[in-house]
Structure 1
């Protein structure tokens, strides 16, 4: 019933409340925004945010981020949105501790909390790990430690830095933190032990954040099995004695492949309607199947 209500609110243009999200200037930070879902989220934000908003995109590839910005500005013009949003590229390698420490500073540089009514932090960046190995095939503890460092450690640090920045202003800002999660946190997939456990760690970390910080809106969003991403191509092409490819792409006929654009649109619907319980894990198909 809850998800049905969310979708109905979205379909009605989110008019249930006098002020829904994005009607006033917003600061948005999107990690992993140089391609795939992260790029689509940045583009959709640019198309919906109010004039005066700032979207900070992070990834290792500056060229990819520049292309994202170009596409985002074009999409905003195509939708005849009045005014401009600033889209800033913040090249950053979140596998490096020094970049984790400085990325948020670059994202908010020159901005004051008083400029915005809300701040949104979307954790899209993630890596797969070695999907050719079973749990009992790992022998190097440093390999496992590196994976969790790359995929988990930046989440609390960037979140804390953004929330500190929000509190530094004189006014009150709404804060939203989103983890791009996965169905694999609850559905075991052979060969995905690192990826699934990393995503599960992020999920529970944000659930704890929701419990500790009731004034922060928190969402774990599973975007569905995406089409056209580098990760999807790796799934499809990796020679794998564990049959990961088969389990993900041949045996599962119940979950239609999802274009990144569609999944990004659905995420923005959830955020604008703002009817979820903070800390919820919501899957793209949970909502679609209730429509």
Structure 2
């Protein structure tokens, strides 16, 4: 491995790149230039445009360059990281699928809306006497996702070599009643059925209702504190004490594995523990 030792700067040539302690901007540009060339080859030079082939080519030809870049000199400037991420975004645009992941409204708004999505779990059905409580919850957790999905599908119409996938973040509550969780169960069940209807109406759209399992989140903490039903509240407390709650990253990895394998029936309800 030839080295050019020069004080106060030394350079090393490794895997066709020249690295230096100063992490000069030309090194980032070198990586981006090579990755863009690889993307051009993947997009124009490959005869097969299936999702599986493109993803495999990305993993073999492009991903190692990015991982080497990060592991070897770990770009620390925000502008450099953003520049490297543009390559990934470019691949996403040329990929054959469009995945619309729905959790209430927009991914960027999950934190703002997450507490409201659970609804009032301190009441039983007989305690809901104000229509505004129910309609307000359903507008947020059913009407909004439904209308947003329709708008996005219109913005991304069907075309050749372009697969659209809609993922509805569901729950066990969509198929099983939880005492004092009336609003949450009803909202999840309604959304599951709505996306099953979408799967029947749009055969060209892949639809998945994914239940991520019991996640260790702020919503779970609120459930342990506010759930009216004592038996259900005890179950949540026991799961938390025994470490049975799932990390969000583990559930996301399972979801991505299901999407990449693409073996599910469109409109199906799949739980984290099913496969």
Which category describes the TM-score, using the shorter chain as reference length? 0.5 to 0.7
**SS of match in other structure, 1:285:** coil
Paired with 1:222 and 1:252, the residues of 2 have a C-alpha distance of 19
- Residue 224 of structure 1, CA deviation: 0.5
2:264 counterpart of 1:276: yes
Residue 61 of structure 1: aligned partner:
none
Contact 1:131 1:191 in 2 (8 A): yes
- Counterpart in the other structure of 1:199: 188
Greater RCO between the two (CA within 8 Å, min separation 6)?
Answer: 1
Which residue matches 1:181?
170
> Displacement of 1:186 after TM fit?
1.7
Gap regions ≥5 residues in structure 2: 1-48, 75-82, 105-113
Pick the structure with greater CA Rg.
2
- 8 Å CA contact 1:263–1:284 kept in 2: the answer is yes
1:164 aligns with 2:154: yes
Structure number with the higher helix fraction is: 2
Q: Residue 217 of structure 1: SS of its match in structure 2? A: strand
Give the TM-score of the pair, scaled to structure 1: 0.59
| SS of equivalent residue, structure 2 residue 273 | helix
1:103-114 pair list within 5 angstroms: none
Number of the residue aligned with 2:100:
121
Between the aligned partners of 1:253 and 1:114, the Cα distance in structure 2 is 44
Matches within 5 A, 1:1-291: 19-20=51-52, 23=55, 77=70, 84-85=85-86, 115-125=94-104, 127-167=117-157, 171-227=160-216, 229-238=217-226, 240=228, 242-250=230-238, 256-287=244-275
Shift of 1:156: 2.1
**Alignment RMSD:** 4.0
Count of aligned pairs between the two proteins: 201
Q: Does the aligned pair in 2 maintain the 1:191–1:242 contact within 8 Å? A: no
| Cα distance, 1:246 vs structure 2 | 1.2
Indicate the SS of the match to 2:156.
Answer: helix
- Is this contact kept in 2: 1:236–1:249, CA < 8 A? yes
Residue ranges of structure 1 left out of the alignment (5+ in a row): 1-16, 25-47, 52-72, 89-110
Query: 1:219·1:280 contact (CA, 8 Å) conserved in 2?
Result: yes
Per-residue displacement from partner, 1:170-203 (whole Å, max 9, x unpaired)?
6442100001111112221111110011000110
- The CA distance in 1 between the partners of 2:181 and 2:265, in whole Å, is 28
SS at 1:190 equivalent: coil
Structure-1 residue corresponding to 2:15? none
Q: State TM-score, norm by structure 2.
A: 0.62
| CA distance in 1 between partners of 2:176 and 2:240 (Å) | 12
CA distance 1:177–1:241, shift in 2 (3 Å): closer
Instruction: After TM superposition, give the deviation of residue 223 of structure 1 in Å.
Output: 0.5
Q: Secondary structure at the match of 1:132?
A: coil
Structure 1 residue aligned with 2:4? none
Shift of 1:285: 0.8
Deviation, structure 1 residue 22: 6.9
Residue 164 to residue 22, structure 1, CA distance change in 2 (3 Å): farther
